């Protein structure tokens, strides 16, 4: 949105802010009818309004930011605050001076922020004091005093460490590996002392390991430390929310997963710290790594060995050596030691900080270390773990299943007398899903890791076998699995499951919301498989049933309206398709609002149809709106965003802007490849579209290569008999014709024509286009008598409807030009003149 | 010899850009001086807020300049904008004094654990200031509510009285301005 748009939206915003929820919806609805883009902008801003209430945005005064500075000079115990050292959500830390004149010296005073003065904040603060009071060690910053001030402010007085974080300290002094290790042994001593007092630090990272000016290591900040249970040695959870306050980069897998924390958690963080000190890198990625990627790396990826990535000469210089020598120094024992400390599973790490220290001492003394490099046995065990990890990936899919089940559960729960049965049912379904995960045996086929696909296949088999006695659950699971296959593009697998679901539903339910759902899903899969007539019949049945059961204005009715519209559009019944799309859009705009994802889908359907009809301005507006809403509702990298971009690009291409179209299609491809995989049929279609945009710019060689790449994906994915393949072949043939390769074009067009003749009505404009192009190919081959019947057939099909300005009309004009060219080449000027007068 | 504030305010009202700048500078000096005096007088831990500082300033200056001095509403229009500059500068210099991250307290997403309170650092407040200037070119009256409320700590009632509108109107302006600002800081109003 830019300032100009703000000016346009501003008066509407004034009005809408005055309205209540329902009135707002009506206002937006009306505005959307008049000006879609404006309504969308308004929606975005109303989204901001919601957010600012949720966040209490700007509701603190700016001057609160200065409140702390008024603390300067206040005294806490024997200390007077001098200046703030740092602040965070939990409170602030101040440099303080001894004020009673007894001793010289500075201290750090930690204050709990006023906002956290609730019971929990205070108890957490007290806990830090208690923990620190237990610890007396030369390498741990000492607790000097703790108390509550006259005005009720709790405080801790701590030893003040003026120095640098350990990594910076080492780098700034170019310490070599040995010196780093010796310093690190002091860190280990401090942590070991804490552990022997049953304290786990849980937040070990460079900024909490300071080195003073004198070169002495000091461990700081036990703010989220934990007391271990004396009996079991496991950590007890003292407060709940403190568990999340760690620093992700140095957190152990079990911390991220919220599992139980032990001394091994600190061993892991020490391993990460050692890795950093030795290699200058972090085991889970550099500073630019996104938090999510880093978490993933910590959970799933074994870090590269410190010696392996060692190429940076700056890192080597900071260690007083060259990359080559540093690599040699790290390779072997140090790699092994770091790897053992960084094991994903706590029980595989060093059993204690002391054991880690012992190995480092052995290394420094040039004795054999106790840790062993990964053995064959280890690698075998690891194989099983890798399988377990891909099960985690599969779990993503299954989670989607479970979410759907939960959705079904709540939805069905509305029907009051069925609540109990349905709850039972969805419990059975989730149980089944869990069983699916657990029972999928990773050793089933020896070398193969279980894939999502093999899980689905196993699931389908089990649904048929195990659930035969519970037809209701079975039907629901068949529908779910069918949908998932459908979404993954495995239409052959989807169809039989959905057919079974429908048959079961007919036997056990009769006309009902559930059966209509199964019918709808079956119709969708049939359409994808290009069984257009069957799809139409199924969807018409689904639509009638949904109307009967749910009424005319229900979102589920809109779903089937859309799907039916798409089938009709495939069949070439554009007017009927448009009417279904408009009905769906009307229902969704009214029931779900203009900024809803499903409403956007309807705008997209209509936008694509209007492009075919030639109403390009309206098409562009709808498709832009679709893109805005899709980005907002789905996030920037969702596959639907790729589709929305691709659709808009096609309209821009038609509007004579192939350069913009090319850029957008490349973006759509990138999103699609990232989210759908390289070989999804949608990727093929985007490649063909990209080829079209390249062709319009005259980049013919690139266009041909791109379209060929697309067909190489879609032919195996969809089968040679699929109309989408035929349409894509027509697109490639057009490029070949431009390149002056009529023979290559002819082969493609003959194949496409054969498919389209079987699939489409005889008058379908797409058939006309293929005829016309085939005529052009014969024309290029100088086979004039063969060209004539195709061009004349195209002429009949593409006869312009008065006033129409669509793709068909344009193709018709091109066909006339071809006819003129044909008769001129043939030496029949009177025929040429006749068709010229038609132009 | 500097012109009296009343003259500068009058010229700024007439849209003279140089007068606006001179007025900003003069008010800036005035308010900063007052803040320092107050701090010295009441000592550390003083609870003198920005709001009372502005009221004090108005009393001071209007007494000094006499009847020619404009009404409170006019004065606060300019003074609140100046106060914003003063606060941003103050935060910036405080940030510059801060030491390195010896006492970082970080949460999972790497940001300071916050409760949706004021945007923390000086840069963010500065960005807020820029966005607010943008908004002021289009809708000065709603931008001004942010200066008064967020930067100067006025209540809705005080602002409503100052400007002779209903509290409800002020509330709505406040919401609208925050919508603009939140969007501007997160998405940007690109031209």
Cα–Cα distance measured from residue A779 to residue A128, given in angstroms and rounded to the nearest whole number: 88
- Same domain? For A48 and A96 the reply is no
Hey, what domains does chain B have and what are their CATH numbers?
1-81 (no CATH), 121-191 (1.10.10)
User: What local confidence, expressed as pLDDT, does residue A145 receive?
Assistant: 85
Query: With a cut of 0.85, is the ipTM above it?
Result: no
Given a cut of 80, whether residue B43 has pLDDT beyond it is no
Asked if B99's CB is within 8 angstroms of A61's CB, the reply is no
Closest-CA residue of A relative to B93 is A66
Q: Give SS3 for B161.
A: helix
Average pLDDT over residues A156-176: 90
Q: How confident is the model at residue B55 (pLDDT cuts 50, 70, 90)?
A: confident
- Same domain? For A107 and A229 the reply is no
- Same domain? For A190 and A299 the reply is yes
User: What local confidence, expressed as pLDDT, does residue B59 receive?
Assistant: 77
Tokens 């980069």 locate to: A249
Asked if B139's CB is within 8 angstroms of A10's CB, the reply is yes
Cα–Cα distance measured from residue A239 to residue A124, given in angstroms and rounded to the nearest whole number: 7
Q: How confident is the model at residue A170 (pLDDT cuts 50, 70, 90)?
A: very high
- Same domain? For A30 and A82 the reply is no
Q: Quick one: what percent of chain A has pLDDT higher than 70?
A: 78
User: What local confidence, expressed as pLDDT, does residue A380 receive?
Assistant: 36
- Same domain? For A241 and A362 the reply is yes
Q: How confident is the model at residue A429 (pLDDT cuts 50, 70, 90)?
A: low
* Min Cα separation B178/chain A (Å): 7
* CATH number of A180's domain: 1.10.510.10
For the segment A436-493, what is each residue's pLDDT rounded down to a tens digit? Answer: 444 333 333 333 334 556 666 766 776 777 667 777 777 877 877 787 677 666 778 8
User: What local confidence, expressed as pLDDT, does residue A753 receive?
Assistant: 93
Chain B residues inside the 8 Å CB shell of A84: 94, 98
- Same domain? For A427 and A348 the reply is no
User: What local confidence, expressed as pLDDT, does residue A709 receive?
Assistant: 94
- Same domain? For A200 and A268 the reply is yes
User: What local confidence, expressed as pLDDT, does residue B99 receive?
Assistant: 35
Cα–Cα distance measured from residue B51 to residue A678, given in angstroms and rounded to the nearest whole number: 61
- Same domain? For A228 and A363 the reply is yes
- Same domain? For A144 and A243 the reply is no
Cα–Cα distance measured from residue A299 to residue A388, given in angstroms and rounded to the nearest whole number: 12
- Same domain? For A290 and A431 the reply is no
User: What local confidence, expressed as pLDDT, does residue A450 receive?
Assistant: 43
Which residue segment(s) compose the domain that A77 sits in?
62-115+133-159
B residues 10..39 contacting A (CB < 8 A): none
Interface residue B118 vs chain A (CB under 8 A): yes
Given a cut of 60, whether residue A399 has pLDDT beyond it is no
Given a cut of 80, whether residue A700 has pLDDT beyond it is yes
* CATH number of A89's domain: 3.30.200.20
CA distance between the termini of chain B: 42
Given a cut of 60, whether residue A738 has pLDDT beyond it is yes
Asked if B151's CB is within 8 angstroms of A62's CB, the reply is yes
User: What local confidence, expressed as pLDDT, does residue A240 receive?
Assistant: 30
For the segment A67-107, what is each residue's pLDDT rounded down to a tens digit? Answer: 555 567 778 888 888 877 765 445 677 888 887 766 667 88
Average pLDDT over residues A412-422: 35
Asked if residue A97 is part of any domain, the answer here is: yes
Tokens 């007894």 locate to: A102
Give the residue from A265, A118, A248 showing the smallest Cα distance to B107: A248
Tokens of A381: 């065990």
Asked if A84's CB is within 8 angstroms of B104's CB, the reply is no
Instruction: Answer yes or no: A229 catalytic.
Output: no
Asked if A88's CB is within 8 angstroms of B106's CB, the reply is yes
Domain edge (last residue) among A55, A77, A93: A55
User: What local confidence, expressed as pLDDT, does residue B85 receive?
Assistant: 83
Closest-CA residue of A relative to B115 is A89
Asked if residue A698 is part of any domain, the answer here is: no
- Same domain? For A326 and A204 the reply is yes
Structural domain tally of chain A?
A: 4
Asked if residue A743 is part of any domain, the answer here is: no
Asked if residue A473 is part of any domain, the answer here is: yes
Q: How confident is the model at residue B98 (pLDDT cuts 50, 70, 90)?
A: very low
Asked if residue A649 is part of any domain, the answer here is: no
- Same domain? For A137 and A189 the reply is no
Chain A residues inside the 8 Å CB shell of B138: 3, 6-7, 10
For the segment A743-775, what is each residue's pLDDT rounded down to a tens digit? Answer: 999 999 999 999 898 877 777 888 999 999 999
Tokens of A508: 């056990």
User: What local confidence, expressed as pLDDT, does residue A401 receive?
Assistant: 44
Domain edge (last residue) among A372, A400, A421: A372
User: What local confidence, expressed as pLDDT, does residue A250 receive?
Assistant: 78
Q: Are A81 and A72 in contact (CB under 8 A)?
A: yes
Interface residue A10 vs chain B (CB under 8 A): yes
Sign of torsion, CA A348 A353 A355 A358? Answer: positive
Asked if residue A310 is part of any domain, the answer here is: yes
Averaged pLDDT score across all residues of chain A? 79
What is the residue-wise DSSP string for A500-544?
HHHHHHHHHT-SSHHHHHHHHHHHHHHHHTT-HHHHHHHHHHHHH
Q: Are A519 and A541 in contact (CB under 8 A)?
A: yes
What percentage of chain A's residues is helix, strand, coil (to nearest 5)? 70, 5, 25
Q: How confident is the model at residue A361 (pLDDT cuts 50, 70, 90)?
A: very high
Output A530 or A648, whichever has higher pLDDT.
A648
* Min Cα separation A5/chain B (Å): 9
Identified catalytic residue from A167, A186, A203, A640: A203
Beta strands in A52-103 (DSSP E): 75-76, 79-88, 91-98
User: What local confidence, expressed as pLDDT, does residue A302 receive?
Assistant: 81
Q: How confident is the model at residue A52 (pLDDT cuts 50, 70, 90)?
A: confident
User: What local confidence, expressed as pLDDT, does residue A89 receive?
Assistant: 42
Average pLDDT over residues A692-696: 93
Asked if residue A575 is part of any domain, the answer here is: no
**Enclosing H/E stretch for B159:** helix B156-163
Cα–Cα distance measured from residue A634 to residue A597, given in angstroms and rounded to the nearest whole number: 8
Domain edge (last residue) among A123, A143, A159: A159
Asked if residue A212 is part of any domain, the answer here is: yes
Number of CB atoms found within 10 A of residue A839's CB: 10
Give the residue from A274, A267, A281 showing the smallest Cα distance to A333: A274
Output B122 or B183, whichever has higher pLDDT.
B183
Q: Quick one: what percent of chain A has pLDDT higher than 90?
A: 33
Q: List CB contacts of B104: < 8 A, sequence separation 6 or more.
A: A86, A88, A207, A208, A247
- B189 vs A2, A62, A108: nearest CB: A2
Asked if B181's CB is within 8 angstroms of A210's CB, the reply is no
* CATH number of A535's domain: 1.25.40
Give the residue from A369, A365, A366, A379 showing the smallest Cα distance to A337: A369
- B191 vs A2, A86, A89: nearest CB: A2
Output B77 or A342, whichever has higher pLDDT.
A342
Interface residue B65 vs chain A (CB under 8 A): no
Polymer length of chain B: 191
């Amino acid at each position: 949105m830019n300032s100009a748009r703000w000016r346009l939206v501003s008066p509407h915003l004034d009005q809408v802010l005055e309205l209540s929820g329902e009135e707002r919806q009506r206002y937006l609805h009306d505005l959307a009818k008049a000006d879609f883009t404006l309504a969308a902008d308004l929606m975005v801003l109303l989204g901001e309004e919601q957010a600012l209430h949720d966040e209490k945005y700007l509701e603190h005064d700016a001057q609160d930011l200065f409140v702390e500075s008024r603390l300067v000079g206040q005294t806490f115990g024997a200390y007077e605050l001098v200046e703030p050292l740092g602040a965070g959500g939990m409170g602030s830390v101040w440099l303080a001076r001894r004020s009673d004149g007894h001793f010289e010296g500075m201290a750090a005073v930690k204050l709990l922020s006023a906002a956290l003065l609730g019971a929990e904040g205070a108890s957490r603060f007290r806990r830090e004091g208690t923990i620190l009071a237990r610890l007396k060690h030369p390498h741990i910053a000492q607790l000097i005093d703790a108390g509550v001030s006259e005005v009720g402010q709790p405080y801790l007085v701590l030893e003040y460490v003026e120095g640098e974080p350990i990594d910076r300290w080492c780098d700034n002094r170019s310490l070599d590996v040995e010196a780093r290790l010796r310093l690190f042994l002091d860190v280990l001593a401090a942590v070991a002392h804490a552990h022997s007092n049953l304290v786990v630090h849980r937040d070990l990272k460079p900024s909490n390991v300071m080195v003073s000016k004198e070169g002495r290591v000091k461990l700081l900040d036990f703010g989220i430390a934990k007391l271990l249970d004396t009996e079991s040695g496991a950590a007890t959870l003292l407060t709940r929310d403190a568990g999340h306050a760690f620093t992700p980069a140095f957190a152990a897998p079990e911390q991220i997963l919220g599992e139980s924390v032990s001394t091994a958690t600190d061993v892991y963080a020490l391993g990460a710290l050692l890795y950093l000190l030795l290699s200058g890198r972090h085991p889970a990625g550099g500073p630019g790594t996104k938090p999510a990627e880093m978490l993933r790396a910590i959970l799933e990826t074994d870090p590269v060995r410190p010696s392996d990535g060692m190429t940076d000469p700056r890192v080597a210089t900071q260690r007083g050596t060259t990359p080559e020598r540093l690599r040699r120094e790290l390779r072997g024992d140090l790699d092994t030691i770091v790897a053992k400390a960084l094991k994903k599973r706590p029980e595989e790490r060093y059993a204690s900080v002391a054991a880690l220290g012992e190995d480092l001492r052995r290394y420094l003394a040039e004795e054999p270390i106790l840790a062993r490099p990964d053995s064959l046995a280890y690698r075998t065990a690891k194989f099983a773990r890798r399988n377990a990890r891909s099960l985690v990936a599969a779990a993503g899919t299954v989670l989607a299943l479970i979410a759907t089940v939960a959705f079904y559960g709540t939805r069905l729960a509305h029907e009051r007398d069925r609540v109990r049965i349905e709850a039972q049912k969805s419990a059975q379904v989730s149980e089944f899903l869990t069983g699916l995960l657990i029972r999928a045996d990773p050793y089933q086929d020896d070398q193969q890791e279980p894939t999502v696909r093999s899980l689905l296949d196993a699931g389908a088999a089990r649904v048929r076998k195990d659930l035969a006695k519970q037809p209701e659950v079975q039907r629901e699971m068949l529908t779910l699995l069918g949908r998932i296959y459908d979404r993954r593009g495995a239409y052959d697998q989807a169809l039989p499951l959905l057919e079974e679901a429908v048959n079961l539903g007919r036997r056990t339910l009769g006309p009902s919301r559930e059966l209509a759902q199964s019918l709808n899903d079956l119709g969708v899969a049939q359409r994808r498989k290009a069984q257009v007539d069957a799809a139409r019949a199924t969807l018409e049945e689904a639509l009638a049933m949904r109307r009967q059961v749910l009424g005319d204005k229900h979102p589920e009715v809109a779903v089937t309206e859309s799907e039916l519209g798409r089938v009709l559009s495939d069949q070439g019944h554009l007017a009927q398709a448009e009417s279904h799309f408009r009905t769906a859009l009307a229902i969704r705009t009214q029931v779900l609002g203009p900024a809803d994802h499903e409403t956007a889908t309807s705008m997209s359907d209509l936008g694509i149809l209007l492009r075919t009809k030639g109403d390009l301005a309206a098409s562009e507006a709808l498709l832009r709106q679709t893109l805005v809403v899709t980005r907002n509702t789905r996030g920037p990298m969702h596959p639907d965003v790729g589709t929305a971009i691709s659709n808009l690009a096609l309209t821009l291409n038609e509007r004579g802007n192939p350069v913009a179209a090319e850029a957008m299609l490349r973006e759509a491809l990138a999103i699609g490849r990232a989210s759908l995989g390289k070989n999804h049929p949608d990727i093929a279609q985007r490649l063909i579209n990209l080829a079209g945009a390249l062709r319009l710019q005259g980049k013919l060689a690139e266009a041909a290569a791109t379209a060929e790449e697309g067909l190489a994906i879609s032919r195996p994915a969809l089968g040679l008999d699929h109309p989408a393949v035929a349409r894509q072949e027509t697109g490639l043939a057009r490029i070949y014709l431009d390149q002056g390769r009529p023979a290559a074009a002819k082969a493609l067009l003959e194949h496409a024509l054969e498919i389209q003749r079987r699939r489409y009505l005889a008058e379908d404009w797409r058939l006309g286009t293929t005829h016309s192009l085939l005529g052009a190919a014969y024309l290029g081959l100088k086979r004039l008598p063969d060209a004539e019947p195709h061009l004349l057939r195209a002429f009949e099909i593409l006869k312009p409807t008065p006033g129409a300005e669509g793709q068909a009309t344009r193709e018709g004009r091109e066909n006339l030009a071809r006819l003129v060219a044909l008769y001129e080449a043939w030496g029949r000027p009177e025929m040429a003149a006749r068709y010229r007068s038609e132009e | 010899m500097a012109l009296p504030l009343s003259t500068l305010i009058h010229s700024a009202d007439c849209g003279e850009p140089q007068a606006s700048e001179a007025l900003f500078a003069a008010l800036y000096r005035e308010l900063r001086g007052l803040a320092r005096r107050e701090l010295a007088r009441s000592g550390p831990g003083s609870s003198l807020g920005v709001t009372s500082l502005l009221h004090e300033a108005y009393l001071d200056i209007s007494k000094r300049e006499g009847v020619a001095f404009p009404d409170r509403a006019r004065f606060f229009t300019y003074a609140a904008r100046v106060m914003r500059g003063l606060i941003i500068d103050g935060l910036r210099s405080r940030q510059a004094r801060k030491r390195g991250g010896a006492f970082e307290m970080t949460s999972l997403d790497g940001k300071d654990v916050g409760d949706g309170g004021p945007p923390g650092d000086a840069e963010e407040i500065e960005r807020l200031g820029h966005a607010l200037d943008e908004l002021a070119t289009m809708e000065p009256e709603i931008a001004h509510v942010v200066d008064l409320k967020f930067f100067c700590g006025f209540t809705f009632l005080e602002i409503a009285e100052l400007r002779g509108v209903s509290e409800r109107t002020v509330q709505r302006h406040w919401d609208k301005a925050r919508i603009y600002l939140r969007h501007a800081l997160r998405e940007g109003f690109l031209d």
